[in-house]
Amino acid sequence: MSPARPLSLGQPDPRADQAMVGMRDGARLATDVYLPAGRGPFPTVLTRLPYDKSGRDCFIPWVAAYMTGRGYAFVAQDTRGKGRSEGEPIAFVDELADGYDSLDWVAGRSWCDGGVAMWGESYFGFTQWAAAASGHPALRAIVPRNTTADVAGDWLYRQGVPRLAFPLAWAADTWMDNRMYGIVPADLDWGEGDPAGALGSAHGERRCASLELWRRSPAEAPLWDRMPFRAERLAAALRIPALHVGGWFDIFRRGQMAAWRSARRSSRAPQPLIMDAVDHAHAGWSLEPSGPIDLHSIASAEIEAFMPAYLDPTLDFYDAVLGGAEPPAASVRWRAGGGEWQSGPTWPPADAEPLRLDLVDAGNALRHPDGGGLSPRPDPTPTAVDWTHDPSRPVPSLYLDELQALAAPPDDRQLDGRPDLLRFSSDPFPTGLRIAGPVRVRVATTATATSAATTAKLVDVGPDRTTRRLSDGAAAHGADTRPRPVVIDLGDLAHDLAPGHRLRLELAASSYPQFLPRAAGGGDAWAADARAAERTLLVGGSNGSALELTVLPARAEQPR
């Protein structure tokens, strides 16, 4: 591909007062202030984002109009080095200090009544977690949407396995300079076989500081040394109310749920949760999208019409926290697919039960398109299935753009016949299956490599063998001549498996370029000539591999 060109910055909104807000080190951050009608002072909402506060992608001018219409002052700020702000654009590192200084500035304005809340999703959901960790007394509430507080555990790694496609495309799109580039994973040349080469396919010899912070292991990465906080502890340190909003197919679902659980355990303040059957890009737009969404092509009238569904739960929460209104009675609201909203005091629902499906019939795992089986009864005799992991020929991810996981999902039949992809399928569920809660995979595996990984993907298979990914994950582990128990956390899920559909579990040692393949000799670096690793999976017996689900009782049949 030819070198990427930066997108133009959006035009400043004439309805906003423009300000350059000074940080403690002298850098000035571009800030827009929107005030509602009336004399004030007003309760105030702050959002801090790297995606151009004046652009269309994040709908900031529309958000500002809707929030000011509800009586809130709204402040939008380009983060350091982004948009029209000064400084160097490096992800994560400066958000605690800059968040504190920005809150200090907002709270000191005459139009602010002293109570400040924060709002935003994805990275500008993370800036809320960082600002909350700063401890500024003016911050009264946050609403982190479709995000996670744990940088290493969710943004850049999954249980020790480096993520590749998402963070690299995100770095190429967002963190090269003050502009955005509109880059998605499909735009990068993954045939280069190494992160620097894939980035070079978009930006040539230019370097990205954020990428350099990511490329090493968590224990060595300079990023962790430069951050003035432990990101994985942000949720446990939360002491203010937070409304947690996410999607069952969102890239950060696992981290979002972990942050909610941690905050709920440690904070006495309300921590309500809203989870919908959406992915990162389609949240609120469509439960069954027909294709990828182009945020630049959405009509202004459609964006405006979208604002009530998008923002009313947030503003109702702010009314309760900042204005003394009655808070919502239910602490958890969720739905699966296009079903009805459910409410309750906790998650998983009180009537949810565990369901263990053992991996069985290992002999067919590599030979048959549907593989072995998933059964409530394990094979009485342990057996093993062997395969070879070649880091130079990894198993393809297929789902390249994880931000739009629901858009025209690819068909897993493309991978039929691979000698390094193990499949295990259940029988059809005659009345369907209601999944609602944590999903884990326990595998007993061996590897000759000193640095190995096991990937897992849970798939909904229709009667015509069409497929849809429900959840996936990966876990790093070392070599062992005995079957080593490895737990792969697939996060929480709410999904109604239709009658006649089956579940399929796919296991491998790679999923490229979703994850960075691990060479047999150890380390995280790609090595095209790395020697192959021999792998074994134990099936059956008391210590065999299994899929662990959380399910609800079947619905009673409606009277005719």
Of 11-20, 126-135, 166-175, 183-192, least confident by mean pLDDT is 183-192
For residue 416, give both structure tokens.
Answer: 């039929």
- Residue 410 belongs to some domain of the structure: yes
- Give the residue-averaged pLDDT of 512-516: 89
* Residue 368 sits in the same domain as residue 496: yes
d(CA 289, CA 268): 38
- Residue 415 belongs to some domain of the structure: yes
* Residue 185 sits in the same domain as residue 241: no
pLDDT band at 1 (very low <50, low <70, confident <90, very high): low
User: What is the structure's pLDDT at 221?
Assistant: 47
Burial 436-466 (b: 16+ CB within 10 A, else e): bbbbbbbbbbbbbbebbbbbbbbbbbeeeee
* Residue 169 sits in the same domain as residue 142: no
User: What is the structure's pLDDT at 390?
Assistant: 87
d(CA 475, CA 385): 19
Of 149-158, 416-425, 550-559, least confident by mean pLDDT is 550-559
What are the C-alpha distances in Å from 560 to residues 14, 133, 557?
Answer: 59, 55, 9
User: What is the structure's pLDDT at 232?
Assistant: 64
Q: Does residue 217 surpass a pLDDT of 80?
A: no
Q: Is 367 left (phi over 0), alpha (psi -120 to 50) or beta?
A: alpha
Q: Does residue 113 surpass a pLDDT of 70?
A: yes
Amino acid at 280: H
- Residue 558 belongs to some domain of the structure: no
Q: Domain count of the chain?
A: 3
User: Per-residue pLDDT tens for 389-411?
Assistant: 988 889 999 888 888 888 777 88
* 395, 420 Cβ separation under 8 angstroms: yes
* Residue 35 sits in the same domain as residue 137: yes
User: What is the structure's pLDDT at 560?
Assistant: 38
* Residue 361 sits in the same domain as residue 248: no
d(CA 489, CA 45): 35
Q: Does residue 19 surpass a pLDDT of 50?
A: yes
Q: Does residue 464 surpass a pLDDT of 80?
A: yes
Helix (H, G, I), strand (E, B) or coil at 191: helix
Q: Radius of gyration of the chain from Cα atoms?
A: 24
* Residue 431 sits in the same domain as residue 297: no
- Higher-confidence residue of 225 and 32: namely 32
Helix (H, G, I), strand (E, B) or coil at 237: helix
- Give the residue-averaged pLDDT of 142-160: 89
Q: Which residue has tokens 């559909």?
A: 501
Q: Does residue 222 surpass a pLDDT of 60?
A: no
User: What is the structure's pLDDT at 16?
Assistant: 97
For residue 459, give both structure tokens.
Answer: 């798939």
pLDDT band at 240 (very low <50, low <70, confident <90, very high): very high
Q: Does residue 288 surpass a pLDDT of 50?
A: no
* Residue 385 sits in the same domain as residue 421: yes
Q: Does residue 432 surpass a pLDDT of 60?
A: yes
- Residue 212 belongs to some domain of the structure: no
* Residue 78 sits in the same domain as residue 125: yes
Q: Which domain holds residue 319?
A: 17-160+218-344
pLDDT band at 558 (very low <50, low <70, confident <90, very high): very low
Helix (H, G, I), strand (E, B) or coil at 558: coil
Residues 6+ apart with CB under 8 A from 26: none
pLDDT band at 189 (very low <50, low <70, confident <90, very high): confident
Q: Does residue 295 surpass a pLDDT of 50?
A: yes
User: What is the structure's pLDDT at 223?
Assistant: 54
d(CA 453, CA 505): 16
d(CA 331, CA 244): 10
Give the chain's mean pLDDT. Answer: 88
* Residue 127 sits in the same domain as residue 269: yes
Q: Does residue 18 surpass a pLDDT of 70?
A: yes
- Residue 449 belongs to some domain of the structure: yes
d(CA 541, CA 380): 5
User: Per-residue pLDDT tens for 83-110?
Assistant: 999 999 989 989 999 999 999 999 999 9
User: What is the structure's pLDDT at 526?
Assistant: 45
